[in-house]
């Protein structure tokens, strides 16, 4: 993959995901616009997603913007809810702790798991890491929609 003079990554459409990860093609318009995101088939309890930090994901310091990390974590936690319940959900509460920095050009990997599932609500926790260091941890509460998703 080529890099421009300012650390920009060109040829976004040719991003090769890490081994075992595939493009997440069925996400909503917001996530599709902000991605691309990738996921890996379940390897145990954890749901795993990843994205390559592009220049457009950065703040003025060249670090991945907190809003990008928060959006990534929200989607990651929601994916764990889907996996555990096979029902769509909406975020009731999301708590995010920023632990370290991720930079443009790094892969950000996240994993999440449901810690408690009731008839109407799911409790989830997750973390994201880049370059071998935890970057974000998050927990959330999700309202399960009544109609199961197709």
Residue 87 included in any domain: yes
Tell whether 91 is covered by a domain. yes
Q: Which carries the bigger pLDDT value, residue 4 or residue 103?
A: 103
Is position 137 within any domain?
yes
Q: Domain for residue 119, yes or no?
A: yes
Average pLDDT taken over every residue of the chain: 89
Do the domain assignments include residue 149?
A: no
Instruction: Give the domain extent around 130.
Output: 20-144
Question: Is residue 12 one of the residues assigned to a domain?
Answer: no
Based on the structure, what is the number of domains in the chain? 1
Q: Is residue 55 part of a domain?
A: yes
Convert the pLDDT of each residue in 51-78 to its tens digit: 999 999 999 999 999 999 999 999 999 9
In a domain, 94, yes or no: yes
Residue 34 has pLDDT above 60, yes or no: yes
Question: In this structure, what CATH number is given to the domain that contains residue 92?
Answer: 3.10.129.10
- The pLDDT value recorded for residue 15 is 84
Q: pLDDT tens, 80-116?
A: 999 999 999 999 999 999 999 999 999 999 999 999 9
**Which is more confidently placed, 43 or 88?**
88
Distance CA 148, CA 58 (A): 36
């Amino acid at each position: 993959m080529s890099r421009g003079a300012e650390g920009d990554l060109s040829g976004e459409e040719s991003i090769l995901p890490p081994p075992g990860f595939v493009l997440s093609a069925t996400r909503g318009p917001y996530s599709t616009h902000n991605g691309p995101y990738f996921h890996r088939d379940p390897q145990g309890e954890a749901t795993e997603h990843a994205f390559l930090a592009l220049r457009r994901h950065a703040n003025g310091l060249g670090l991945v913007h907190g809003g990008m990390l928060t959006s990534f974590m929200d989607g990651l936690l929601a994916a764990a809810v889907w996996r555990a319940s096979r029902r769509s959900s909406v975020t009731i509460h999301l708590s995010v702790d920023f632990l370290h920095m991720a930079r443009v050009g790094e892969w950000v990997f996240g994993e999440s798991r449901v810690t408690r599932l009731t008839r109407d609500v799911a409790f989830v926790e997750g973390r994201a890491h880049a370059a071998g260091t935890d970057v974000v941890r998050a927990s959330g509460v999700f309202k399960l929609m009544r109609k199961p998703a197709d």
